[in-house]
Homo-oligomer: A and B are copies of this chain.
Amino acid sequence: MRKLGTLRAAIFNAGNASRASALEISAQDFEQAWRTSTLGGFVFGKVVLEALLENDDHPESGRGSLLYTGATAALRGRPPFIAIAAAKAGLRSVSQSLAREFGPKGIHVAHIVIDGGIDGERLHANAAQRVARSGDPGLLHLEAIAETYWQLHIQHKSAWTQELDLRPFKEPF
C-alpha cells in the first residue's frame, strides 16, 4: 500500500453482538463473529506489527502500540452471547501471544476490556431507554475511553500494561 506516514499506534475496535440460544445460532453466524473479532484482530495485528517493526526502538516509548478493544465476554462465555464471547476470547488470546512475542521487540500490545455501554451514537440511536436508565455517567464516555488508550500508548517502556478493564463507576461486575 502507498505509505501515508509513519505508523505509531493502531487500534482494533471491530465487534458485533448477536444474541441467541446456541441451538439457534448457525455455523455461519458463529463464523461471522469470529471473522470480525478474532481473525480480523489477527490479520490487523500482523499488518500493524510489520509496519511498527520498521520504526526505531525508542528507549522510552519503543516502536509503537497495538491496542485491542475487548469485552467482558472475553472472560466468560455465557448465553445468549456464545458467538461473540468465543470470538472475543480468541481475540484476547491473540493479544496475549502478540504481547509476549513483540513486547521484547519494543512493541506495546494491550487489551482493553470494555465493560458497560458506550455513550455513543449506536446506543443513543438504538437504545434510548437504556441510555435514559443509565443516567450520566452510567455509560462510558468516548473521550474517557480515548484518554486511557492514549495513556497506554505513551506509557514508558519500563512499565507497560498488557490488560486493563474500563467500566462506569456504578456498573455491576
Q: Would B62 and A45 count as touching, CB distance under 8 A?
A: no
Does chain B have a CB within 8 A of A165? yes
Does chain B have a CB within 8 A of A166? yes
Does chain B have a CB within 8 A of A126? no
Interface size of A by CB at 8 A reads 79
The residue of chain B having its C-beta at the shortest distance from the C-beta of A107 within the complex is B169
Q: Would A90 and B137 count as touching, CB distance under 8 A?
A: no
Chain A: residues with CB nearer than 8 A to chain B? 21-23, 27, 30-31, 34, 38-39, 42-43, 45-46, 49-50, 59-60, 62, 74, 76-82, 85-98, 100-104, 106, 108, 119, 136-141, 143-145, 147-148, 151, 155-173
